[in-house]
Amino acid sequence: AFPDSTETLLVFSLMNDDGDQIQIARRLFINKGASSVKETSGNIMYSSLSSEPSAFSLTDLTPAFLADSLTRSLDVIDASTDEKNNDGSLSRKWISRTDVLFVKFSGFNYAEADAITITNAYKSGIKHSSVNDLKDNDILIVGRGNKAIAAVQLLLVNDAAGHENDKYVFNIKKLIE
């Protein structure tokens, strides 16, 4: 059971015209913690040096362009720059423009993750304003301040020739508020 779960006893009574009565009781257990995440899979974010979306909104759970910063929150952004990645490489680094903090958590069980395990992992992890050396199968826990937002499972970090096809493919389990 999770701390935000609840249990109640429901008693149903039925009486007929002759006064005969029957009762049945059912215990109802609502396990909020296990179901309070929304998962999206196959999310794609490209290099900042490509012509494709190079940011991601955790609010909308959608990719975004850097030019969208006036209308959307760019929570996660690829940090590729002409200065550092002019050889066609992918930065393998994420930053944020919305104060998102990153916890790289290699031992985290993404498949079984729920609101409680994501929150506990974020609270116990070392938070950074950016995350470096991203690779396939990395697990990130992201949040703001002391509040967890989501768990991210990197499926693929594709560093192809040039910048146009450099991308990150990932799954997200976002806490539902």
Q: Exposed, middle or buried, 16 (CB in 10 Å: 0-12/13-18/19+)?
A: exposed
- Among 2-11, 95-104, 147-156, which stretch is predicted with the lowest mean pLDDT? 2-11
> Over pLDDT 90: what percentage of the chain?
64
The answer on pLDDT for 162 being more than 80 is yes
pLDDT for 3 equals: 57
What's the per-residue H, E or C state across the chain? Answer: CCCCCEEEEEEEEEECCCCCEEEEEEEEEECCHHHCEEEEEEEEEECCCCCCCCEEECCCCEEECHHHHHCCCCCEEECCCCCCCCCCCCCCCEECCCCEEEEECCCCCCCCCCHHHHHHHHHHCCCECCECCCCCCCEEEEEECCEEEEEEEEEEEECCCCCCCCEEEEEEEEECC
- Inform me whether the pLDDT recorded for 146 exceeds 90: yes
The yes-or-no verdict on residue 71 having pLDDT over 90 is no
Query: How does the average pLDDT of the chain come out, rounded?
Result: 90
pLDDT single digits (tens) 45-59 = 999 999 999 999 999
**What mean pLDDT is predicted for residues 86-108?**
93
Residue 31 banded pLDDT, cuts 50, 70, 90 = low
Q: What is the pLDDT of residue 72?
A: 72
Of residues 70 and 121, more confidence is placed in: 121
> What is the distance between the terminal CA atoms of the chain, rounded to a whole angstrom?
19
Task: Say what the pLDDT of residue 174 is.
Answer: 97
Mean pLDDT, range 140-165, rounded to an integer:
95
Give the span between the Cα atoms of 132 and 121, in whole angstroms.
19
pLDDT at 164 over 60: yes
φ, ψ of residue 119 in degrees (nearest 5): -60, -45
